[in-house]
Amino acid sequence: MKPIDLLLPELFAADGGIQRYSRTLIQALQVVQPHAPLRVFIRNDHPQHIPTKPWPGISWHPARGSSARMARSLARAARNQRPQLLLSTHPNFAPLQVLHHKLTGSPSWCSAHGIEVWDLRRGPKRWALARLQRLLPVSRFTAARLQLQLGAGCPPIGVLPNSFDQTRFSPGARSPQLLQRYGLHSGQPLILSLSRLSQADAYKNLHKLIEALPALLARWPALRLLIAGEGDDKPRLQSLANQMGVGQQVIFSGRIAEAELADHHRLATVFALPSTGEGFGIVFLEALGCGRPVLAGNRDGSLDPLGDGRFGLLVDPHLPLAPALASLLARQGEDLWFQPQALAQAVGEAFGFVAFCERLDAQLATLEVG
């Protein structure tokens, strides 16, 4: 069988939403196309980042941060054997994909995650995306933005949502070690938010959570808000908490180690990220997988992981958040939101690895038709 080639920005050198999506995609391809060799070209990974333990059926081609080296490696592989499909997980590779298609005739598909394709200016990326054979946005919101911008020239679109690791993110008890670290007692209410604290990501609206805290403390004096993450916006958020008189009630944990991420979700009474700029939000799936009630914005790709409100509370982030947060803290809302095992099972059925494989297999079936 002909190989499938993949173009990735990073895989092992960094860990984020696109990296997790890329790893899930590779694992799913091994399930739904077990006889197809996978040739994986990774722009920013170096040889030392590649696992020493072999992944059966996969050849790694780290480009050490060089786009030119990646292109040469891809061309050599194509000369050796033309792939049945070239699939990238970032739209910045689209111009290279168009060139590859012209030289090999192999269909070329591209994932699209969020803000990187919401406002496409005229240029090589927009030109190239319109000339690929299929686009795979992770949410309906991103799909609609692509269709609006590319118009009649938009390639066929197949939504392929993010997934999450159900073996890691599952309901469980609060970690005694984390309770001790943050000075909490076992029954203390806690709102958790997890994000990169970047000035460029002000659309996450973390400041709105801080502004909601005084009203919530009047009803729940022991309530704490834990904001996890690092970035250049942290000083502003800390200053706001002090100005609001809640500096002692807001905990800034810093960056959370990957091994402790699930336990932080289990620590929460409510997970909240009232963003207006999420392409999807794997973090929502991880919180829901741990059986936690979730609050998210209703103006972006957050609609998809929350199942249009089936799995969690969708709010307008431009409105005061205290009433919505109070309802979740008081366990007011859909019954499913407050049944950890049932919530985790429902979200797993919708967005777990099996569901991802089924959606990917349906997209790959179009190769046989076309």
CA 307 to chain centre: 15
The architecture of the domain spanning 176-350 is 3-Layer(aba) Sandwich (3.40)
Contact assessment for residue 74 and residue 97, using Cβ atoms and an 8 Å cutoff = no
Rounded to 5 degrees, φ, ψ at 254 are 80, -170
Res 370: pLDDT: 41
CA 228 to chain centre: 16
Query: Helix/strand/coil (H, E, C) string of 23-42?
Result: HHHHHHHHHHCCCCCEEEEE
Tokens for 130?
């319109």
* Domain limits, the chain: 4-163+352-369, 176-350
Q: H/E element holding 129?
A: helix 124-129
Burial 113-146 (b: 16+ CB within 10 A, else e): bbbebbebeeeebbebbbebbbbbbbbbbbbebb
Q: Tell me how far apart the 2 most distant CA atoms of the chain are, in Å.
A: 69
SS3 (DSSP) at 175: coil
150-184 confidence digits (pLDDT tens):
999 999 999 999 999 999 999 999 999 999 999 99
- In angstroms and rounded to an integer, the radius of gyration of the C-alpha atoms of the chain is 22
The architecture of the domain spanning 4-163+352-369 is 3-Layer(aba) Sandwich (3.40)
User: What is the share, in percent, of the chain residues with pLDDT greater than 70?
Assistant: 99
Tokens for 309?
């409100």
Q: Tell me the mean pLDDT in the region 337-357.
A: 98
255-282 confidence digits (pLDDT tens):
999 999 999 999 999 999 999 999 999 9
Tokens for 114?
């969020």
Res 256: pLDDT: 94
Asked whether the domain spanning 176-350 has the same topology as the one spanning 4-163+352-369, the reply is yes
Confidence check: pLDDT of 223 > 60: yes
CA 283 to chain centre: 6
Tokens for 289?
């997988």
Res 368: pLDDT: 61
Q: Can you state the percent helix, strand and coil of the chain, rounding each to 5? A: 45, 15, 40
